[in-house]
Amino acid sequence: MSYERTNHPVAIVVVLLFAVLAGTVAIASIWANQQLLSTGSWVSVSDRLLESTDVRHRVAEFLGEELTAGTEAQLIAAGQEGAAALVGAQLRARQTELAEGVMKTSQFKLIWLEANRQGHRALLRVLDEEAGAGEQVVINLTPALRQLALVLEEEGLAEELGVADLAGFVEPGAARIKVLEAQEVSAAQDAVRVVRHLTAPAIIAALALYGIVLFLGRRRLSRTFLGIGLAFAATGALSLLLRSIAGDRIIDNLISGNTDREAADAAWRIATSKIADLAGIAIGLGAVVVLLVGAVGVLRVMMRSTVEA
């Protein structure tokens, strides 16, 4: 009987391709459930986001802009247009630097983590349809903005600007970052309903497909295991490629400036680090299998040479 009839090479390749796709779906699902849709994991991610220079700088710019704009608006509303112009100009010149200094404090870190924890819980309530329809999801950084103003007061910088109660200018609801628009909720809920229950079926499908490959290629196990090792590596490589493509598309839709892009790129890398970890494991496992197959092949050749000698 020929090799083609006994080992089904075409069928093996096709099944391996489906196994790669199933493994890629499994990696994406594990990431979504364990990192994106877990509040505890997201708080850990937000902690790492704050440690990123690019992300921290962009958040500092945002908070500085919000504090300056809010202070100017309050002074103008009080009929102090001259003071608004003077204080606004002085704040604007130093707003990012001052905000970054405050963001390095332990008090700010606690406020930042709590804001992300509450925002993520609100997001999950909406995605799991536990909140009202049409609800907008935001991360409320008003406490963080107020902390920035209080530190400036304590250090005497607010007094230098001619404003005694800078924290008093921070209105409720200031510095809110939109996470999910009301019109986007329905599509997001549909996606989450699928992702929530996708991990186990994807893993089972991948394992079943690899089992089929072993059955079809049982007469040439060395070649079969080589194919499996390459499939593992391909699963990791495909996951990394899709992560990169998805990141580019999402970032292109959300931002326009180069400065924002650097921060968004850093945030995406941190937020999808689970994908990189799982992809690395798949590539490493595939490399181990390929090396073992190669080592076994070399050993067989050496043994055959010894016997013939």
Q: How does pLDDT run across 259-279, given as a tens digit for each residue?
A: 578 888 999 999 999 999 999
CA pseudo-torsion sign 189, 192, 196, 198? positive
Q: What is the reported pTM?
A: 0.84
On whether the CB atoms of residues 87 and 75 are closer than 8 A, the answer is: yes
- Distance, CA of 166 to CA of 155 (rounded, Å): 12
**pLDDT by residue (tens digit) across 72-128?**
888 788 787 887 788 778 888 888 888 898 888 888 999 999 999 998 998 888 888
Answer whether residue 15 shows pLDDT above 60: yes
Instruction: Judge contact between 31 and 278, C-beta under 8 A.
Output: yes
pLDDT at 152 over 60: yes
Q: What is the DSSP string of 230-251?
A: HHHHHHHHHHHHHHHHHHHHHH
**Residue 167 contacts by C-beta under 8 Å, 6 or more apart in sequence?**
146, 149, 150, 153
What confidence tens digit (pLDDT) does each residue in 186-235 have? 788 888 889 999 999 999 999 999 999 999 998 888 999 999 999 999 99
